[in-house]
Amino acid sequence: MASIQKNYQDVNSELELIMNTGEILQDFSSTGKERPWKIHKQENLRLVELYKMSKERNLISLISDSRLHDLEHCADTLVFLQNAEGKKKLKSANFCRLRLCPMCQWRRSLKMFGQVQTITDKILERDKSTRFLFATFTVKNVDAENLETCINILNNKFLYLVSKNKTFAPAKKLKQNLLGYLKAVEVTYNTKDKTYHPHLHVIFAVKSTFFKNSSNYMSKKEWISLWQQALGVDYKPQIDIRAIKSGTAKAVAEVAKYPVKTAPILKLDDDEAVEVLKTLTFCLHKKRFVSYGGIFKTIKQELKLQDVETDKDLVNTDIEQQERFNAVTAVLFKYNFKFGCYIC
């Protein structure tokens, strides 16, 4: 892989860089969908505005001046490689890598999508009878003060379901069939009652016997009971559990998108948005939100896949595309604040 990248750079350096043509950026994915560069840049600038507002109001400084500067200039200059058909592939960009930056979240979710797809393809390649389940585990909503504790509880209690080191009888059936999991924490904000809704999205890889054998199979009722007992609460927590048809790695990847979404918060009124931003900035600071277990972890390590959360490279999100792309030129686009779009 490293040698491919190197050869690639050598070829790129000989390419002519096209600038100042006035062309408006249009970048399409392999499925023909326009990539939402300008939407994410607009969201990014709203986040900058909110951080500035929180500072002006003499609230605690949520981020340092230099981080704010990075955020403001995140992806304001993009260089694309272009092939003979006019198809683009990002070559370089100045991503800020801030956790709440909508632009960087989008890049991370693309990366995550590619990774999960690669891992599940590999799992199925080794044993095509492997089945996947997609689950969402919730708890009752909490207020800002209790959010951090609640996230910790969710993560700890989840271990009762999957960890071999934790004795927890109700999870016996699941553990007997479990091959691995991918877990992501998501926090959403409820505008009506101004509470936070932390929850877990999980993909379980299970043995085919989980479905074939009625003594192994778990009904939704059993899942709810299992989660309720793990949490040790007196209410029935909401759960969503779905089997993903075997062989559909794409569906698995689809549900593994990056979990902390800033975009809905940016649409709130200034006061409320600043307040929510404050809570999330503190709660999310230096925490892990995605974790791999069992076969997911082993294959990720074997394939030497980068860690999506700490990974510095948000330019290359698709391994395959990089190897196939035949660039003929490079084109530079800058974000234009007046027109709200990227222009060459």
Residues contributing to the site for Zn ion (CB under 5 A): 74, 96, 101, 103-104
Minimal distance, residue 186 CB to Zn ion, in Å? 19
Decide: 263 and 189 in contact? Cβ < 8 Å: no
Minimal distance, residue 105 CB to Zn ion, in Å? 8
Minimal distance, residue 75 CB to Zn ion, in Å? 6
Minimal distance, residue 139 CB to Zn ion, in Å? 30
Nearer to Zn ion, 103 or 135 (CB): 103
- Calpha distance 81→40 (Å, rounded): 21
Minimal distance, residue 137 CB to Zn ion, in Å? 29
Nearer to Zn ion, 132 or 335 (CB): 335
Closest residue by Cα to residue 280 from 264, 296, 256, 292:
264
Nearer to Zn ion, 104 or 205 (CB): 104
Long-range Cβ contact pairs of 46-55 (< 8 A, separation 24 or more): 46/266, 47/71, 47/100, 47/101, 47/102, 47/262, 47/266, 47/277, 48/72, 50/266, 50/270, 50/273, 50/274, 50/277, 51/277, 53/270, 53/274, 54/274, 54/277, 54/278
Nearer to Zn ion, 254 or 309 (CB): 309
Nearer to Zn ion, 96 or 276 (CB): 96
Closest residue by Cα to residue 119 from 335, 298, 322:
298
Nearer to Zn ion, 82 or 105 (CB): 105
Nearer to Zn ion, 101 or 244 (CB): 101
Minimal distance, residue 262 CB to Zn ion, in Å? 10
Minimal distance, residue 101 CB to Zn ion, in Å? 3
Nearer to Zn ion, 96 or 274 (CB): 96
Nearer to Zn ion, 101 or 142 (CB): 101
Minimal distance, residue 109 CB to Zn ion, in Å? 13
Q: Which amino acid is at 224?
A: I
Minimal distance, residue 245 CB to Zn ion, in Å? 35
